[in-house]
Amino acid sequence: MNRSPVSRRNFLKAAGVAGAGLTVGACRNASALPAEATRAAMPPTPTPEPTPEPTLEPTPTLEPTAEPVAMAESEAVPTATPAPAPQGNAWEEMDRMHEEGVNIFLDGIDPTNGFWGTPLEYREEDGVKIFEVTCQEVDWEVEPGNTVAAMAYNGIVPGPEIRVTEGDTVRILVHNEMSQSTGVHWHGVIVPNNMDGVPYFTQPPIRPGETFVYEFTTRNAGSHMYHSHHNALEQVSRGLLGAFIIEPADKTNEPVVDADYVLIMNDVGIGLTLNGKSFPYTQPIMAKLGEKFRIRYMNEGVMIHPMHLHGLEQLVITKDGWPLPQPYYCDTVNVAPGERFDVIVEAHTPGAWAFHCHILSHAESAHGMFGMVTAVIVEE
């Protein structure tokens, strides 16, 4: 669902956070510091030294005649540990980097830039929907200044979104323009064995310069994926992945939502990314107060990713494309490699809500937030 771009100023006004951080920072004073920090900042009270006896001549220094004997730890004379000296303004530099990242993210809000998916167009012949996918080796910009050698479907990471309806017959022509063989697996989709896309199990590999034709009738609705199943650790991690969504023919039991988002996680090859990008160059989910939206999580990486949404609960309704007999609420959805979860979120509270993988080494450091981070922005 496309929305018009918003300026950072308008966002801050809508979210009600303009100037909040500055106000808090300006109000801090020494009395607000913990007692331990206050004591550490104060120099220790000096202990008076005993007055030496007056002497007429300076006492000569004697050379030791033997190696000094080390005292036992219990006999050692305690010494005062001085408070650590301030390392310049390290905390100010850390804050600056954190703020800079968030500002880049907010200033870069653009719902039209393709982050939330590019649909794959098709043509129809005799009732068959025909798609074409080309495997290519490309340079992919994860973030400005960080371009990686990627493998891509139709030149983008993730590959274009294939979305069809349950009962459709689809024909997918896969052209291989890479320097190595490949194959395409329809992850979660029920297909005939010879269409499963695993070289030497179900088909020959698609060699460089060749085309392979997959054709099947979709049987099971849900959120699925397509990706390489040949040298998969390299090929998938470098970008040969995409969403394959089958809408149910009968939508009676489908939730009614205002927007539908696919969020694909990856972690090696092109790095810690959401939909092929790393924070602060990801895009937020934008919602109006009271709207409901659907998120389709897909983990194409090799690590688990507990996706945590601040401020708004998630109603988990499906796993791996199958409806749950008992949906449940949570704030963190733990998505293992290969898993898919669909959740419904109601935008009931305005503001900018952080949304990230809760393995913190995937999301935040002293240099600021990075990697698998985005936000949900609820406007009044």
What are the phi and psi torsion angles at 235 (to 5°)?
Answer: -70, -45
Q: Name the token pair of 341.
A: 């979860």
Question: 236-277 pLDDT, tens per residue?
Answer: 999 999 999 999 999 999 999 999 999 999 999 999 999 999
Whether residue 74 is predicted with pLDDT greater than 70 in this model: the reply is no
Residue 6: pLDDT band by 50, 70, 90 thresholds? low
Give the single-character DSSP code of 156.
Answer: B
- pLDDT at residue 39, rounded to an integer: 35
> CA 174, CA 180: separation in Å to the nearest integer?
14
| Mean pLDDT of the region 37-65 | 41
- pLDDT at residue 10, rounded to an integer: 54
| Mean pLDDT of the region 286-308 | 98
Burial class (CB in 10 A: 0-12, 13-18, 19+), 97: middle
Q: What is the mean pLDDT of the chain?
A: 84
Range in 24-28, 80-84, 129-133, 192-196 with the lowest mean pLDDT: 24-28
Q: Is pLDDT larger for residue 320 or for residue 84?
A: 320
Quick one: how far is CA 364 from the chain centroid?
Answer: 10
Tell me the domain boundaries of the chain. Answer: 112-251, 255-380
Whether residue 26 is predicted with pLDDT greater than 50 in this model: the reply is no
Whether residue 86 is predicted with pLDDT greater than 50 in this model: the reply is no
- pLDDT at residue 345, rounded to an integer: 98
SS3 310: coil
Question: 156-215 pLDDT, tens per residue?
Answer: 999 999 999 999 999 999 999 999 999 999 999 999 999 999 999 999 999 999 999 999
- pLDDT at residue 21, rounded to an integer: 38
Whether residue 30 is predicted with pLDDT greater than 90 in this model: the reply is no
Whether residue 131 is predicted with pLDDT greater than 80 in this model: the reply is yes
* Dihedral in degrees, nearest 10, Cα atoms 98, 104, 110, 116: -50
* Dihedral in degrees, nearest 10, Cα atoms 209, 152, 218, 221: 170
Whether residue 280 is predicted with pLDDT greater than 50 in this model: the reply is yes
Amino acid letter for position 350: P
Strand partners, 78: none
Q: Do domains 112-251 and 255-380 have the same CATH topology?
A: yes
Q: Which CATH number fits domain 255-380: 3.10.20.440, 2.60.40.420, 3.40.50.970, 3.30.390.30?
A: 2.60.40.420
Residue 350: pLDDT band by 50, 70, 90 thresholds? very high
**pTM here?**
0.79
Whether residue 42 is predicted with pLDDT greater than 70 in this model: the reply is no
- pLDDT at residue 118, rounded to an integer: 96
Cβ atoms 205, 235 nearer than 8 A: no
Residue in this structure with the two tokens 């993210």, named with its chain if needed: 105
Q: Is pLDDT larger for residue 56 or for residue 309?
A: 309
- pLDDT at residue 369, rounded to an integer: 97
Mode of pairing for the β-strands spanning 211-217 and 169-176: antiparallel
Name the nearest CA neighbour of 222 among 196, 190, 265, 263. 190
Residue 89: pLDDT band by 50, 70, 90 thresholds? confident
Topology of the domain covering 112-251: Immunoglobulin-like (2.60.40)
Percent of the chain past pLDDT 90, that is, above it, reads 76
Cβ atoms 187, 224 nearer than 8 A: yes
